[in-house]
Chains A and B, each alone.
Chain A
Amino acid sequence: MTYDLVVIGGGPAGVAGALTAALAGLRVALIDSGARLGGQYFRHAAAHGTGHAAESGLARFLRLGERLGERADLLLRHQVWHISQNDGGDFTVHCNGPDGGPVAVRARRLLIATGAHDRPLPFPGWDLPGVLTAGGAQALLKGNGVVPGRRVVVGGTGPFLLPVATGLAEAGARVLGVYEANGGLGLARHPLLAMGKAGEAAGYAATLARHLVPYRTRRAVVAAHGEREVQAVTVARLDQDWNVLATRVVECDTVAVGYGFVPQIELGLQLGCGTRQDVDGSPVLSVDSAQRTTVPGVWAAGEPTGVGGWQLSELEGRIAGRSIAERPVAGVLTRRRDRGRAFGAALQRAYPVKAGWQGWLRADTLVCRCEEVPLARVREARDLGATDARSVKLLARPGMGWCQGRICGYAVSCLAGEPQQPSRRPIAQPVSLGALADTADGIPDDPATDPVDDPAH
């Protein structure tokens, strides 16, 4: 069986796209590696309390998810590791099924809605347990109901630090400070205000004030200390370019840091989709006004086309769904999307990553956590004639390990002195050789399509 549409990603973009297309009569399957729909923003615990569900549209999202479950096949706990285009022009989506076995799904059209992940920057001690990405801290809270620590420091750049810090504070963590590396303005003149998000910004400000959480700009966590886990961090005052001006030590048991997001575009790259550079330099998939990529039959929506928040992702998903179903796209939708994109671009401009972070590293600071490559080895590779990130990787191994450079890729590009290039990852998720070998004698086509009983839970 070949689906009219297979959507990869069950966040706001993927769910909106799948539902829109399904309502227009298409046979749709949606694949996500998670156990529940939601993606990053609508991540929720299996047994979520009502209070949480009412917040920020989660209840609405869950209803959309339920409607989708009635009209489409939901393949949850399926990790897509490769998509190939067949001779006839249709596509085969190769997944690891819930038990690790191979599952292949055929599609006439595809929607790539794989979201983004945090963009961390390395600093001494960043690999100590207790140092989490901002998104990681939030995922513990939202998806598992676990407060990540008692005394938490939040650092990085961008408006995303605010929901993370407020979430932590409201869940009972003592947030010792939010350290925003950019902006000299402070919360009262946060760029969110200038972008018509005054209500949102004020809400965060009020929550932080209520919990006595200091919000400090031009500050960053530049080192973490501890033996087997983090016990303290060095917080630095920064100049405009993020060079350290002065430091002090803050005792804490948990750190949540994030410097923006990295769009996940590798499935598009596998198919040969064209890319462009986003405002912050991230490679993203190029799409036209109807969210079509440069490869016929392949659409993309949400963060793989550029980061701009969940509402934008959802809008893009809806537009893609209409376009995939060959229905007209209302002008009001595209106009809202274009405004959303302008907003996303403005945020990226307001929260750039400045080169001074490289000065936070010591020779023995790990740049690549998987292969344990310290800065000194990256420098040695450059000395040996590595003039770009790929050859730094070939000579010193950063990015060759499990995460495939997702975590260190941005830093390595900066250290190699080149803009980030799209990373080819022909194997997007680890696949066991046994499962791969079994693929050789014909793939179990048509997964049992056991629509997971209750999609939203």
Chain B
Amino acid sequence: MTFHITIDGRQVPVVPGQTIGAALHAAGVRSWRTTRFGGRPRGLFCGIGVCFDCLISVNGRAPERACLLEAAPGDEVTTS
């Protein structure tokens, strides 16, 4: 039942209904962007769309909240 998305070319399994953030976190990918000034790694923090730590670019679009966005088969995400 699972499908895959890719992060920087690497495959990550997804259970349907999971968010991109949850799928990455489950696969051990805990950060996918760095901050503007300090270059600090960021991933999930609040998990419910409030903190914006988890911003990620999916299929080339402007960054969105990974904890809100349900993964779709074939989604390609890039770290920044």
- Which A residues have a C-beta under 8 Å from some C-beta of B? 33-35, 40, 45-47, 117-118, 120, 127-133, 135-140, 143-148, 228-229, 369-370, 372, 401-403, 406-407, 432
Contact = CB atoms under 8 A, between A and B. Distances in A.
A402 B33 CA distance: 15
Main DSSP-derived SS at the A contact region: loop
Nearest to A432: B62
A263 B17 CA distance: 27
A402 B46 contact: no
B46 A146 contact: no
Interface of B: 1, 15-19, 22-23, 25-26, 30-31, 35-38, 40-53, 55, 62, 67-68, 70
A46 B25 contact: no
B48 to A, nearest CB: 5
Contact of A135 (B26, B40, B47, B68): B47
A140 B15 contact: no
Contacts, number: 110
Given A137-B47, A139-B67, A407-B50, A145 B15 contact: yes
A118 B18 contact: no
Contacts of B43: 129-130
Contacts of B37: 372
A46 B16 contact: yes
B17 A45 contact: yes
A289 to B, nearest CB: 30
Given A129-B30, A140-B47, A402 B17 contact: no
A131 B43 CA distance: 9
Contacts of B48: 40, 117-118, 135-136, 139
Given A33-B68, A140-B22, A372-B35, A228 B46 contact: no
A23 B26 CA distance: 41
Among A129, A132, A145: residue with most chain B CB under 10 A: A129
Contacts of A148: 25
7 contacts: A46-B17, A118-B48, A128-B41, A139-B48, A140-B44, A144-B15, A369-B53
Contact of A146 (B16, B22, B55): B22
Contacts of B16: 46-47
Nearest to B62: A432
A140 B62 CA distance: 24
A142 B38 CA distance: 33
Contacts of B36: 372
A118 B67 CA distance: 15
A146 B15 CA distance: 10
Contacts of A370: 51-52
Contact of A129 (B26, B41, B67, B68): B41
A407 B70 contact: no
Contacts of A369: 45, 51, 53
B45 A131 contact: yes
A229 B41 CA distance: 8
Contacts of A147: 26
A139 B30 contact: no
Nearest 8 A-B pairs (CB), nearest first? A46-B17, A136-B47, A402-B52, A144-B22, A139-B47, A129-B30, A129-B31, A129-B43
A127 B19 contact: no
B46 A407 contact: yes
Given A143-B22, A407-B51, A136 B17 contact: no
A35 B70 contact: yes
A60 B44 CA distance: 30
B21 to A, nearest CB: 8
A144 B14 CA distance: 10
Nearest to A142: B47
A372 B40 contact: yes
B50 A146 contact: no
A366 B50 CA distance: 17
Which residue among B35, B48, B53 has the maximum number of chain A CB atoms within 10 Å of its CB? B48
A127 B47 contact: no
Nearest to B14: A144
Nearest to A229: B30
A135 B44 CA distance: 11
Contacts of A132: 44-47
Contacts of A131: 45
A228 B28 CA distance: 12
A133 B51 CA distance: 10
Contacts of A401: 52
Contacts of A407: 45-46, 50-51
B22 A117 contact: no
B60 to A, nearest CB: 14
A129 B25 CA distance: 10
A118 B46 contact: yes
B51 A47 contact: no
Given A35-B70, A140-B22, A140-B25, A47 B17 contact: yes
